A and B are shown apart, each in its own frame.
Chain A
Amino acid sequence: MKNTMLIVLALLCFSVSYAGGYRIALQGQKQLAMGHTGVAVINSSELVFFNPSGLTFLNEKFTVSVGANLVFANISFQNQNYGWHTEDKNSAATPFNVYAAYKINEWVSVGLGIYTPYGSGVEYPKDWEGSHLINDISLASIFVQPTVAFKINDIVSIGGGPIFATGNVNFNRNIDRTTTDVNGNRTNVTIDKTGITAWGYNLGLTVKPTEKLTIGVNYRSKIQMDAKDGEADFQNVPEGGNLQGQFDQVTFDASLPLPAELTVGASYAINEKWLVAFDYNRVYWNAYEDLDVEFSNGQSSINPRNYKNSSTYRFGLQYNATPRLVLRGGYYFDESPVQSGYFAPETPRNDSNNFTGGFSFKLSDRFTIDASFLYIHFDEVEESYDHYQENGQNISFGGLYKNNGFVPGLGITYGF
């Protein structure tokens, strides 16, 4: 069993892309299997993420959940006018999470969460038709969240904790559609910065008006990731364009918001066997107005994004089939924050329908295996990014995009 987890952990590479924008909603196997509901589901230490206040309602004295997902996210692109067709290079990625909760007494619980709620990993064939917008990107973030929860009375509990976020960015694109060195090698720039850090917080409220009904509210703050003095590596710059060495040893500053998210939801235990849950997420994506990269040589690259706030509607079911086996299923509708005309190929995603399933199997009194599966369905969409400029002129790049995603996940829960 330990070996298995080691293998899974060895596959971790922290960078994935899926769901609206660069949000990765994969914060726990049990809740993912239920459509990633969980703000009002008292199941496990996954509550550290979903709603810290719920920890006080857990039965276990101590519980730990560890899990990881394998993300296979794929993008197909075609443009009928020019006969272009391109597929991204499918690289699997493995977001992970670790949650622990400890009940100090009836009224106070503490917890710790380590999870990866934002990231993106897309790689197109080098010099593809949209290479002036992106060749490849890898965004990764890890959140570490110590947590405390207080039960105010038998009905109401509050909880929260600070979030320490650390992140990396690596982004490569060609500087325009045509510039090359004399041998035809496209001039491109890679911006790279590791170890970006920032702080935020996570707050929650749980209300249990009856034994069967649970209501939850959770708010996770915006976290602004500021990359300072990152490396900007320009390649294949023509000598004649670099007379003053203005493209040598360049650094950059850039800023990327990890937007705030508000969740409200409820769960209802129909009977001993059945539990239903509903969550509504609002992600405040309007924080992402543009990707503004300022280079140390005085140049800048301003890329309007103009994201809009988006909602996700989640529905989950849990069925206690036997004392050892719990089955879960769910569905959610995920609104894309990307507006028409801002469809940049780094996150070319429209609204998606998401189907989830999974189970927990009790190996022993203390160990449980949690498995989940997510299938993300996107309709194909005719869209473009219209805000790239050459010589002061907006040049549209677009076509038909289609995405899909397959995300199996596996975790283990230990508790007593």
Chain B
Amino acid sequence: MKKYLYTILALGLSFGCQPEFNDPINEVGFYTSGEADFSNYVAVGNSLTAGYADNALYIEGQLNSFPSMLADKFSLAGGGDFNQPLVADNLGGLLANGQQIQGNRLVLEVTASSQNPAPIEGTPTTDIANHLEGTFNNMGIPGAKSYHLMANTYGNIGNLPAANPYFIRIASSNEATVIGDAVAQDPTFFTLWIGNNDILGFATSGGIGEDQTGNLDPSTYGNSDITDPNVFANIYNELLKALTANGAKGAVANIPDVTAIPYFTTVPYNAIPLDEATAAMLNQAYAPYNTGLQQAAFLGAISPEEATERTINFTVGQNPVVLLDEDLTDLTSINEGLTNMRQATNQDLIPLPVSSVLGTLADPSDPNSVIGVGVPLNDDQLLTASEIQLVVTAQTAYNTAIKALADQYDIAFVDIQSLMNTLAQGGVSFDGGTITNTFGTGGAFSLDGVHPTQRGYAVVANNFIRAINSKYNSDLPLVNPGSYPTIFVK
């Protein structure tokens, strides 16, 4: 009888077998890699490749970096392991020998009356002095510009602050380059998305850096400068030459418009609401400045057009902020009161962080010191139309080079510029609605206003997958953006 029972049990155990589909998707051959070989995928780039979001690199963001999403789909078509240099926690801040050098991630702090992004509390545990051994498929280095990928001082902790803390953690040696460490892994497939920071540093700093167009020596560039387009194109060519030297296939992405990110689209140029009495009072206060402009125009120091452009005028309703524009003619030699003031136009962009000071008192004891009204915004608190033009010119040149080199190296090209413009103009639909670039609620951008949310990265990943499928005749499935979170509430 016992024997019989054991037989039943043994039979039963063998019946625990899972039903098999006629065409199981996880069986080799269901999805094909086409002409590509996904067995060893290495991603090269900046914060966007690393999975950076909410102003920090933290584990959850890394786990859902767009290269990680790609690797997950690649694994269905011959892809191998995808090893990422995970940080130590979900706080996201960085230490260097115990000293905090990078703030924690932003989370949405909700109270009964307000919702504000704020750094999450806690002491971060990721110390860049704790060097990670091994190789990493995700070589996305937050903050990296194009030329940084080839700089052999970029991972040397002795070279801080010029060196990069994220690369210091994983560089194979003090002299290692990002591209060198990537190529050393002998990738069969790569993604390269670089160049955003070559203009973004200039833009987010309010254009206080230099446009280095014409200067071919990137070692002399500052962090907020615009990289020379020829330098960019040369570097990009070198990067692709190195990545394709072993015959690897890959995909490259272009640079989105800075004007498409909520960092620049959230604070309106006419952010000042006024009633009639206040407007009249302010007009009176600015009357001497306006009169001075007329005199300067009469004297020929400025054109009548510039006098008109600079005239400050408030009305009932929403009013443009008052700002200082270094591109205006300096009249302080004529009259100290005639600073480079004008009111913003819809061509000017006000960076997101300014929203926290705009409308507050520069001097708490002086009710007339309202920032953006009585006290003009500084040059680093806005991106003027002429500064935007510098950015756009460089970006256009970069994107031309990226497309041309993608064609030359015969690799997949991903038009992220178009994607981001779509997010800004109507959005991308998904099974739970529409993803837009609206700050906070749109779903595409994290709380820093620059980097995508995980859902935003999912949309990016889908664009990579479509481009890869199209170029290499693979048939990788897409990711579902609806399965990925957006902003995090504390």
Residues of chain A having any CB pair with chain B under 8 Å: 1, 3-4, 7-8, 70, 72, 74-76, 78-85, 87, 90, 92, 129, 177-180, 182-184, 238-241, 243, 371, 378, 380, 390-391, 393, 395-396, 400, 402-404, 406, 408, 410
Contacts and interface: CB of A to CB of B under 8 A. Distances in A.
Interface string B1-44: 11001001101100111111110111000010000000000000
B284 to A, nearest CB: 45
B110 interface: yes
Given A4-B1, A76-B19, A179-B485, A240 B108 contact: yes
- What range describes how many residues of B lie at the interface? 35 or more
Given A76-B20, A184-B59, A240-B108, A70 B8 contact: yes
Contact of B18 (A76, A79, A81, A178): A76
A83 B485 contact: no
A238 B21 contact: no
Nearest to A390: B432
B192 interface: no
A72 B12 contact: yes
Residue in B15, B433, B476, B486 with the greatest tally of chain A CB atoms within 10 Å = B15
B299 interface: no
B180 to A, nearest CB: 33
B366 interface: no
Interface string B437-479: 0000000000000000001000000000000000000001111
A396 B15 CA distance: 32
Given A72-B15, A183-B60, A184-B90, A178 B8 contact: no
Contact of A183 (B1, B19, B90): B90
B305 interface: no
A4 B31 CA distance: 50
A78 B21 contact: yes
A196 to B, nearest CB: 30
Given A4-B5, A78-B24, A243-B110, A83 B76 contact: yes
B480 interface: yes
A86 B11 CA distance: 24
Contact of B477 (A72, A82, A380): A82
B12 A240 contact: no
A96 B307 CA distance: 93
A109 B64 CA distance: 67
A178 B120 CA distance: 20
Nearest to A71: B12
Nearest to B477: A83
Contact of B22 (A7, A75, A92, A380): A380
Contacts of B73: 83
A182 B21 contact: no
Nearest to B8: A408
Nearest to A373: B11
A128 B8 CA distance: 32
Contacts of A87: 18
